[in-house]
Structure 1
């Protein structure tokens, strides 16, 4: 799992992170961006540009808390860029605050940087390497390992200052201590994860939040600070800072170049690879502005010029306290770097053409290369689709054309009249059905008040209440045209009006009602006539029944009398 994670609920398909990622280590599918761990070099740029704050960096705070609970001795190695995170705060004050959080001992990472610089000087004196690429920036190292494997032999076989300092502290104070690097760098977390020297990483933003949570202020100085003496190494976090620690005479065998910013690092590596350049000592930092502009300093917003000035002044301070044991410790600073090349399948030209054709890109004119999808060219986007990194729908011009085409088909074929109005209810545009329904011409209608076409009452109601009106019945053209009018405010302040012609529907309704009335009248007449007939029949039946009853009674009586005779 990658150290950088994306919050699924927050991703809004803006592709800003993909556009920003120089190595395109972000995939996009199912409306969600995701880090490709094996391709990512943890520069952290995607965490800085996301407008939805959808990127989160895994925290080592639970690890540090675990050390505290077990009673382990926790030693802090603080990067010299702390002056950008906490301007105006001295190292001794920061040391005191860290000790209140539970750290047993606090030192500056620049102690390790001093030894790394000496290792670089040794390599330059030996002149065995064609080029020497510095190893202070883990992101730059990963860039070479994953994307320029042929240049791995040029990486100086020296650990970073953070690892060097961790080794020095463990040798000086015991291998059982836990070393926590405190700094601005996300990729240090990977360095700690894959190595054994740094046990955890605490970014400056995490430290700030932790101090606020514990209500600890960086104010009172540490009574027993572990200050360093080779203070020039505090320049490491600034562009050219490494070169500043190496005397010019010691660099005589190589031409020295300092490069900051991932894009510039890529350009430098391209030049070395493509033009077979040699004889260079290259200080590489992935962050523009080097470590004082690292991703872990995002929330502090200290201007670069101020940060650089603070570093310079801090490097010129003289230390009055005795040297700390670790500063006088010597140990092994050797490191091995490996080729971990990213293997992406590249499709052939025919496959790329097929992919591009699926989004209507079949001619040079249709290849806009707008970069909205995050890829600089349509061809590179097609390659990313083939590799499973990108989605066809990421092409915004294509999706816009598709949406507009569908909208135009709907607008031009719907029988309803549709108007788009501005905030003052002036006609911006209307569809063909509206022109037919109200006998409109574009020259006369666009820009005029809608009240000249449709009744004004509903528009006044919408303007007053801000609420939409649905299916409001209106009669027009002296009753010859009946409509149902709907007025809906849209988010940008304009209005959408839909007028449905219900003239025929209402005429059919009137005819139905007339037919129903006539049917009721006829039915009533039939009922009345049937009632009269029934009454006449009943009257006739009544007379006949009376006569029959009288005759039968008389017969019965006669029979009865006859039986007694």
Structure 2
């Protein structure tokens, strides 16, 4: 199961996460986005851009609470970027974590120090064509899954998190629980790597910790009761771009050109050049997050944004010199017998590419029969129509995700319906000016759409009902109205769509039906006159032969009277 989860109820078909994913590791199936874990590099970009907050990260808080509840020794490795995530210094945070029940807290910078020493050895040996830092798990995932041919240029060194965990287990005992707290989602996946030998028992993000502090009400107090012991004293600069380079001795850098690169897009650009063989003899510090770890996906934004975060981190790094004489820290920093090496695994997926005919067939299904129809707008989340067609072939995307196609299709269907309806339809603005008239309206009133556009409806149709609906907000449906100028009788609906500042007028020409009704009415009136005359004649005859007919006359009168009343009732209904 992926660490990042989507909430089905909130996904609104916006495709924003797909557009933002640098490796297209998000599939869209049954109108719902889902993470493709085998392709995900855990950069957290989808979390940051989701407008519906439809994604969540699995939390280890309950897991950590159980450790503490069982009275186990739970040690914290705290990423130095915490100073950019909380409005408190390390002393306050240290004490707050102790209140939660943690046994001991140290800065991950202790592990970063040892990682830098390993980098110095690699620089000194000068055996690698290029050296890419291995601190950022998302960069490791990116190379293992998408650039496996460059794994031999990745520094074969564990991350500061793993290095620090090994150091703490060496110092405090192998049976302790180690919890890493930082700004990364990718650390949650890194800790599950079998190579790490279960060095990390749980990972909390700064957001997790913030929620925990809120729940416990810690922010209501600035009280600091305990003194920090054995926290860290160097390598706090790691989280900012170029921070790793600053922790490496100048003499070691002379063998390679050094550069710091942050942001997935720029990293991919560099990696592409390395694949092409255009880059050599570089030591490259890579971070997936633009702005480094202080801009991680699970870091709480503080007032002042990135500049303030960077300022706080730099000031925090400067204070490290005050603790440089701590002997206990030095004892941990000298844990040089530990194995900090790492191997990388090719996790790339072998994709069987479809033929050109298959791709073109997918493109044809959405009306893209030629290159000029391939707009490559990127609205679906893919850089080009062909890339999206490939995603459809791989089952990662749906054909209807093409917004221009769906819009054309919707407009085409609506136009077919509107222009083939027997009713005249006018779309008016809030001032009753005609915005559009359908084909039936043009034929009905013998005017072109160009003639209608911009004219006020009352210039065309003399009727006070339009203003009435606009003022009252009460719509009129199927009201009979006569337009003498056009010798026309109509059933007319006037609908005020106030939400869109639009008035819709629907006119059904019933002139012929009305004329037929009048003819029928006249015919039936004539029948009544004839019937009345028959009754009167029958009565006269009846009077003469009353003695002979008896009750038969009365029955005839009743029958004829019923016929007359029935016809008159029908005429009444027609009026």
* TM-score w.r.t. length of structure 2: 0.87
Secondary structure, aligned partner of 1:474? strand
Q: C-alpha distance in 2, partners of 1:456/1:166?
A: 83
Partner secondary structure for residue 172 of structure 1: helix
CA contact (8 A) 1:135 1:160 kept: yes
Residue 323 of structure 1, CA deviation: 3.2
Give the structure 1 partner of residue 67 of structure 2: 67
Which residues of structure 2 form unaligned runs of 5+?
Answer: 552-575
Change (3 A) 1:261 1:467: farther
Residues of 2 paired with 1:407 and 1:281: CA distance?
Answer: 59
After superposition, give the CA deviation of every residue in 1:93-131 in whole Å (9 maximum; x if it has no partner): 011112222222221111111111111111211222222
Question: What SS does the corresponding residue of 1:335 show, helix, strand or coil?
Answer: coil
Partner of 1:553: none
- How far has the Cα of 1:489 moved from its partner? 0.5
Measured in 1, the distance between the counterparts of 2:505 and 2:453 equals 14
Counterpart pick for 1:502 among 504, 507, 510: 510
Matched, 1:382 2:423: no
| Aligned residue in 2 for 1:546 | none
Alignment of 1:523-562 (within 5 A): 539-540=547-548
Q: What is the Cα deviation at residue 230 of structure 1?
A: 3.1
- Matched residue of 1:98: which SS? helix
Which shifted more, 269-278 or 236-245?
269-278
Decide whether aligned partners of structure 1 residues 530 and 9 sit closer, same or farther in structure 2, where only a CA change above 3 A counts.
farther
Q: Which of 492, 502, 519 is equivalent to 2:500?
A: 492
Q: Distance in 1 between matches of 2:81 and 2:100?
A: 20
Change (3 A) 1:475 1:148: same
Alpha-carbon distance in 1 for matches of 2:211, 2:421: 58
Corresponding residue number in structure 2 for 1:482 = 490
Counterpart in the other structure of 1:22: 22
Q: 2:358 aligns with which of 346, 351, 364?
A: 351
Report which stretch shifted further, 444-453 or 133-142. Answer: 444-453
Shift of 1:227: 4.9
- In the other structure, the counterpart of 2:179 is 180
Q: Conserved in 2, the CA contact under 8 Å of 1:76 and 1:180?
A: yes
Question: 1:302 Cα deviation (Å)?
Answer: 4.7
TM-score of the pair, normalised by structure 1: 0.89
Matching of residues 274-313 of structure 1 within 5 Å: 274-275=276-277, 277-297=279-299, 299-300=301-302, 302-313=304-315
Please give the residue correspondences for 1:52-63 in structure 2 after superposition, counting only pairs within 5 Å.
52-63=52-63
Contact preservation (8 Å) 2:77, 2:179: yes
C-alpha distance in structure 2 between counterparts of 1:343 and 1:524, whole Å: 95
Tell me if structure 2 keeps the 8 A contact 1:459–1:487: no
- Other-structure match for 1:137: 136
Aligned twin of 1:216:
218
Residue in 2 that maps onto 1:427: 434
Is 1:458 matched up with 2:460? no
Cα separation, 2, equivalents of 1:92 and 1:221: 7
**1:550 aligned residue:** none
Q: How many residues align?
A: 541
Q: Measured at CA, do residues 145 and 536 of structure 1 come closer, stay the same or move farther in structure 2, by a change above 3 Å? A: farther
Task: Measure the CA separation in 2 of the matches of 1:349 and 1:301.
Answer: 52
Instruction: Give the C-alpha shift of residue 247 in structure 1.
Output: 1.4
Residues 100 and 530 from structure 1, CA distance in 2 versus in 1: closer, same or farther, beyond 3 angstroms? farther
| Structure 1: runs of 5+ lacking an equivalent | 544-565
Cα separation, 1, equivalents of 2:65 and 2:539: 99
Determine which structure has more spread, i.e. the larger CA radius of gyration: 1
> Once superposed, what is the RMSD of the aligned Cα atoms?
2.6
Any conservation in 2 of the 1:260–1:286 contact (CA below 8 Å)?
yes
Q: 1:397 aligns with which of 404, 419, 429?
A: 404
Distance 1:298 1:441, change over 3 A: farther
The alpha-carbon distance between structure 1 residues 294 and 514, as it changes in their structure 2 partners (threshold 3 A), is farther
Of 322, 326, 331, the residue aligned with 1:319 is 322
1:535 to partner: Cα distance: 9.3
Q: Aligned-pair distance for 1:70? A: 2.2
